[in-house]
Amino acid sequence: MMLQGKNLLLMGGGAYAQGIEKYKKEKGFRVVALGRDADTPIAKISDAFYHIDTQDVDAVVEVVKKEKIDGIFVGSSEVNIDPAITVSERTGCHFYSNREQWDIISDKAQFKDLARKFGVPVPCDYHVTAEFKREDLDKVVYPVIVKPVDSSGARGMNVCYNEEELKKYYLEALEWSKSKKIVVEELITGGREVFFHYTIQDGNYSLSMGFTKFKVESAERDYVSLPIFHMYPSSHIDAYIEKVDAAAKRMFQSIGLKNGIIMLQGFDIDGEFKFFESGYRMGGEQMYVFTDHQNDVNSLELMINYALTGSMADFKVSDRDNARFKWPCCNYYIPLKAGIITEVRGLDQVESMENVLNITKMYRLGDEILDTNALERVCMRLHVYGKTAEELAEALVKISATLQILDQNGNEMQIEHLQYERCLKAIKEGCLLINT
């Protein structure tokens, strides 16, 4: 696809900076970045940087006109999708989503209503308001999970085991919600959390990948939803295709999704799925690292193509997409205990390991990790693969043993150090092992 001389506007997307820079050098397009910090990854790879708040739509529109921007890329940054849609509406530059589509998908309550209409299974929810009416509270069956309808990254999300906790965490969730709308739904226990991503090209949907999530384990506390592993290809893929795939496609087609990446997040409980959220955006897990490695499909490049030309690719993506990867892979997340990141040791050795495809660093020395349930506790995301389950488990243990992340008092900050049996068990439970 010819991109020479095209102009791409970055509104977020810092985790993708390395991949964007590589594709930019290969294809010859320009990058214009916005933000409040000129020391960010996207600022460093840009040809022009504007010290502008991405939420200041009028200012962004002026940049689009001045720089002759062809399209906008936001990565996985939900906060920037709304202003990007407005800028696209006002200037005509390419952006993959329209207002109506985003309003439905980004609102957890509206998504669940749409899912029910098309037979996509969702958890039970409860009507609760900040007035905490007795008739509402009496209907709640605990435990429940409380979260804003319009936030991501586990911000404002907490588990409640009684009425006192429900009231406390409901008010906390309100602080994270721009719309001031909160979901109170049953807490799924005993199931396994799963994610499935589709690539959409000109209205054609192909299942690109699925992964199984494993939470960090700690004797000190329950971190609610903090990940340690995303295992690919998910061992739940075949059941998903049989039970949900067709209904999910009809649901997304009903709101006119024509291009982009769409995700479903939920649980598989003994063969029965319940999905509580969708995302019409690239995922933070950077699935393109694995799909490019295994299937020669790179969703980062596809989304840049669309932003610059209005077309995802000059080939049929579904001909290459195959969510049943031939080798097991893992997003290895490293969440930290509270403290100040003061020193990181062993990173160079890890970067040179054969099984490590990518490392995305989400920290700076001096950053303070707060004691919350949010994904901001994760300082690093690694893409690791093995040709067998045992090889992958060994690689994960080697990485864990090599890395040291120290706080201001010289204490190790990693919440969990990996053991071989823990890793192998997760791989065998979470991965569909095709060739091992």
pTM of this prediction? 0.90
Check whether 153 has a pLDDT greater than 70. no
Q: Is residue 241 part of a domain?
A: yes
- Residues 314 and 249 both lie in one domain: yes
Residue range 129-147: mean pLDDT, rounded: 94
d(CA 384, CA 357): 6
Burial of 388 (0-12, 13-18, 19+ CB in 10 A): middle
- pLDDT grade for 436, boundaries at 50, 70 and 90: low
pLDDT of res. 375 = 82
- Residues 268 and 137 both lie in one domain: no
pLDDT of res. 235 = 97
How far out from the chain centre does Cα 53 lie? 23
pLDDT of res. 398 = 98
CATH number at residue 146: 3.30.1490.20
Question: Six-digit token pair at 13?
Answer: 């997307």
The domain of 155 spans 124-186
- The residue from 75, 95, 115 where one domain ends is 95
pLDDT in tens, 72-108: 999 988 899 999 999 999 999 999 999 999 999 998 8
Check whether 224 has a pLDDT greater than 80. no
CATH number at residue 271: 3.30.470.20
d(CA 237, CA 245): 10
- The residue from 41, 75, 95 where one domain ends is 95
Average confidence score pLDDT of the chain: 94
pLDDT of res. 204 = 97
pLDDT of res. 407 = 97
d(CA 376, CA 373): 8
pLDDT of res. 108 = 84
- Residues 277 and 253 both lie in one domain: yes
- Residues 88 and 235 both lie in one domain: no
The owner of tokens 């979260």 is 147
pLDDT of res. 188 = 87
Sequence-separated (6 or more) residues with CB below 8 Å from residue 42: 10, 12, 13, 14, 17, 20, 31, 33, 35
- Residues 271 and 406 both lie in one domain: yes
Question: Among 34, 41, 31, which Cα is nearest to 55's?
Answer: 34
Q: Is residue 106 part of a domain?
A: no
Q: Is residue 2 part of a domain?
A: no
Check whether 174 has a pLDDT greater than 90. yes
Check whether 222 has a pLDDT greater than 80. no
Question: Among 180, 280, 182, 284, which Cα is nearest to 225's?
Answer: 284
Q: Is residue 100 part of a domain?
A: no
Check whether 373 has a pLDDT greater than 80. no
Check whether 363 has a pLDDT greater than 70. yes
pLDDT of res. 176 = 87
Task: Give the count of domains, the chain.
Answer: 3
- Residues 158 and 198 both lie in one domain: no
- Residues 233 and 317 both lie in one domain: yes
- CA neighbours closer than 13 Å in the CB half-sphere of residue 239: 16
- Residues 175 and 219 both lie in one domain: no
CATH number at residue 26: 3.40.50.20
Distances (CA, A) of 29 to 49, 88, 292: 15, 19, 21
SS3 320: coil
- Residues 220 and 275 both lie in one domain: yes
- C-alpha Rg value of the chain to the nearest Å: 21
pLDDT of res. 149 = 81
- Residues 357 and 264 both lie in one domain: yes
- Residues 135 and 42 both lie in one domain: no
- Residues 158 and 199 both lie in one domain: no
